Amino acid sequence: AQKVTQAQTEISVVEKEDVTLDCVYETRDTTYYLFWYKQPPSGELVFLIRRNSFDEQNEISGRYSWNFQKSTSSFNFTITASQVVDSAVYFCALSEAGNTDKLIFGTGTRLQVFP
Amino acid sequence: ETGVTQTPRHLVMGMTNKKSLKCEQHLGHNAMYWYKQSAKKPLELMFVYNFKEQTENNSVPSRFSPECPNSSHLFLHLHTLQPEDSALYLCASSQRDRNTGELFFGEGSRLTVL
């Protein structure tokens, strides 16, 4: 069965601190996708990244970076020099490569960035 | 205009009421979804529609009845709900043939069942 675990329920940091959000997944599929979504207070989830299971290269996008490690079934998300606007709930998700209709989400990590 | 619009944003209903949630997407996508978000639980996929046809019903109780009259509109009809159905109901859309898994979400309809 597929499962996504985000053990950190809430994280609080002060602006400019770096913060890492953990994501551990379980799947028996050999090909799959991993995702991160951001849910700001307005409610809508916003897509941040998709990673194919074949591609273990780390990705950097501005202040955001992602560390995918198949050996530990983890797909962690780091925000460098956090800002107040980063305050949101962040969800990690998993899907089969052939069935992206069914995203399996974690319970989310609430990040609060204080000025 | 935002890509995916949901109405109403907030709804309070009694257990015997009948109400509907509406979702409209302006992105030209061909797949639409209903998700349920309850406190401290993962988002739960409820229904998937591809080209107006329902392709996924994730064991959702019959008191939730979806309707997809066209690729741009999705409804969730609610009747005889229970208090545990109180949650944020999120609509999403995607362009299915791209198979990217990238969903575009609305801001949700927060439902309270008394």
Residue B4: how many other CB atoms lie within 10 Å = 23
CA distance B71 to B25: 8
> Which residues lie below 8 Å from residue A80, measured CB to CB, with a gap of 6+?
A18, A63, A64, A65
Where are any strands of DSSP class E within chain B? 4-7, 10-13, 18-25, 31-37, 44-50, 53-57, 64-70, 73-79, 87-94, 104-105, 109-113
Chain B residues whose beta carbon lies within 8 Å of the beta carbon of residue A44: 2, 4, 90, 105-108
Q: Give pLDDT, residue A62.
A: 94
Q: Which two tokens stand for residue A69?
A: 């490690």
Q: Which two tokens stand for residue B58?
A: 């994730």
Q: Give pLDDT, residue A28.
A: 92
If you average pLDDT over every residue of chain B, what do you get?
92
Q: How far is B18 from chain A (nearest CA, A)?
A: 24
> Three-state DSSP class for B85?
helix
Q: H-type helices in chain A, by residue range? A: none
- Whether the pLDDT of residue B79 is over 90: the answer is yes
Q: What is the pLDDT of residues B23-55, one digit of tens each?
A: 999 999 999 999 999 988 889 999 999 888 888
Which of A58-72, B59-73, B97-111 comes out lowest in average pLDDT? B97-111
Q: Give pLDDT, residue A101.
A: 82
Q: Give pLDDT, residue A10.
A: 97
Q: Which residue of A has its CA nearest to B90?
A: A44
Give me the percent of chain B exceeding a pLDDT of 70.
Answer: 97
Q: Supply φ then ψ for residue B38, to 5 degrees.
A: -105, 155
Q: How many CB pairs under 8 A join A and B?
A: 60
Q: How far is B53 from chain A (nearest CA, A)?
A: 13
Q: Give pLDDT, residue B1.
A: 55
Q: Give pLDDT, residue A87.
A: 97
Give the residue-averaged pLDDT of B48-65: 88
Whether A47 and B48 lie within 8 Å, measured CB to CB? no
Q: Which residues of chain A have pLDDT under 50?
A: none
Q: How far is A11 from chain B (nearest CA, A)?
A: 15
